[in-house]
Structure 1
Amino acid sequence: MSSYYDEQSQESLSTRLQMIIESAVDGIITIDEHGIIETFNRSASLIFGYEPAEVLGKNISILMPEPYRSAHDSYITRYLKTAEKRIIGIGREVLGQRKDGTVFPFFLSVGEGVVNGRRIFTGIVRDMSEQKAAEQKIRDYAKALEQSNRELESFAYIVSHDLQEPLRKIQAFGERLLKKEAERLSEQGKDYLQRMLNAGERMQRLIEDLLRFSRITSRPQPYESLTLAAVIKEVLADLEWQIEQRRASIDIEGGELVFEASKHQMHQLFLNLLSNALKFQKEEVPPHIHIRGSSYEADGKEWLKVEVADNGLGFNEQFAEKIFVIFQRLHHSYEGTGVGLAICKKIVEQHGGRIEAHSREGEGSTFIIYLPIKQTMV
């Protein structure tokens, strides 16, 4: 009776082991000391493309490309003679060959044991094809990004030197002509000249904005600890004249919040947002801008949320995405290049955050910025 239960227990254990081997995600292959395949589980079949019946009893080298196939038996012989471990008990990345001849990378870890006096080697196989493809894609993206950054730097150089120099001459000679030859010009001539100078100024602003945009996309900035209040204070100092001229009021709450960011880019971000809030005011209504900072946790991170709300003209919210596209302008009667909000979006995204806009025509706008409080240095 005891031997019967022992046999039953042995069969149960064998069944469980077989089930574990067959249900494993990784390929499991066992060979004897001559390299003959004795076990080939379902995952190994999926990885190599062979049915078990096609490989059982055959040399493991069938799963290898040259020159490893021809040399494999000597690897086993050398190990059996010297016990020198090159892969057994260590694991490493190697190349395999599928039934269709495809060569692919996989991670192989090998263990050994003795069963009924026979030495058995067990290999655990993990296909690395997708991982390697993803790594290559990342390398390709990095290479493309590096090339794009070089092109942006080249563009910035061309804009700052080759385009600005003739523009400066046009403006300089135009101003000299208006100053010294004004008496000889007709009223229409003066008007034409003034229009030319105004167009030159707009072109100058556009070039400067494009330069700012290209530098944001191509030059990483150092991060430092900032408070929202300190950033806004410096921006308000720059906008002091516009604030007085428009009789604007600005208040801030949550300014004590500390976060990591590029000081220069945060200044640029809020300068653009507050400048827009001042510019697009309702007629005869002094601008009021409310800035509110708060923090919250999401996705395992701490986040800073900044809302910049104004009582200005507003816009149709169906254009809420369009306004962040470079050169897009909703209020053509107001001066601007259509680059400012594109710069804002680029700055926020470069810091791992996002920006969104909510508005109704005639009821003001609210821009909401989400930024990680801690920046991860890459």
Structure 2
Amino acid sequence: MKKASLMHALVHNAIDGIITIDDHGIVASINPTACRLFGYKEAEVLGNNVSLLMPMPEKEKHDFYLKQYKATGNAHIIGIGRELIGKAKNGTLFPFKLGVSEVEYANKKIFIGFIHDLTQQKIDEARLKEYASHLKELVEERTKTLNKTIKALEKSREKVRQTLEKEKTLSHLKNRFLSMASHEFRTPLSTVHLSASLIEKYAEAYGNANITKHVGKIVNSVTNLTTVLNDFLYIEQLEIGKVVPRETCFDLVLLASEITEEMQLLAKPKQKIIYSHSGEVQEINLDKNLLKNCLINLISNAIKYSNDTGCIALTTEIDDQQCIIKVKDDGIGIPIDDQPHLFEPFFRAHNTGTIPGTGLGLNIVARYIALMRGQVSCSSSTEKGSIFTLTFSKLCEK
């Protein structure tokens, strides 16, 4: 009794449809899942031929297959899983997998059909097939595009090579011109500078303010042009890789003090350059000449872009981890929109006006600092001026 109850519960709650028929094809039982699949009530199916649940032509062939099996013993679907099409009460067709087993009960043959709905599986397979087809088309399209691109690249490769050769030639000519201009112009400029200084000296006896004024203009112009040529020379040397850092251990405080004294002589009459150092250590391991060039460049900019009574602060700090050098001024500052481009070659801020400059100085500073494995940054505003910070981590070994 318990086994019968268990069997009934298993069949009644099975997730697949289960139908039993006799050897004439008449439905003896059908579980709730099969009823839901075919859309019939149990009473509508019981006692009817199972072909009720089949569409044409399987409906016509079913009884023939059953008679043939009884006569010959050759199974058509018994013991073999097959995919078939079922017909619901409302005429809807749906795919399912059928497995049929044969059992003998009370001296009678009973056929049990296990029905597994394949509707969702077929939908998923169709979607997968459609996706695979779409993917194939996409791959073919991309392959065609890639092949066209490769062919275009192959055609343009020679043009690119020729263009690169021309660029190399032009770059070489540019570097040669910069080198020649920097060297060849330096001698006549030195002569002009010396002659202007002599004129000023010889004219002292005449006490003519106009002579002193115009000599001063000549000297300033020569100085500015010399600075331009020096910038071109530095850029040319960087471009061809001639600038190689030569690190030595030197007294940073002594170097900064010397630079402060030198730059004070070049400052505007009422400008002040103040230097201070913090930390017990004074020595650092860097390229002394490159660092000096950077500091002179930054202080020169501070002088140039500050008013006649401005104060420029040079500070150095060395601790166990790093060395920090700052150049601070209270000049015109740098507009915030210009700051991202500050270290680009030939870039000048929009508020520089008629103040002379090439826009190369800060680019040279940034490249020198990078060669020494340091970092340069700027904090600036048009209200408070600018602070340029150089940071290095390599110190002299104790």
TM-score range, shorter chain: 0.3 to 0.5
TM-score normalised per structure 2: 0.44
Normalising by structure 1, report the TM-score. 0.46
Q: Which has the larger radius of gyration?
A: 2
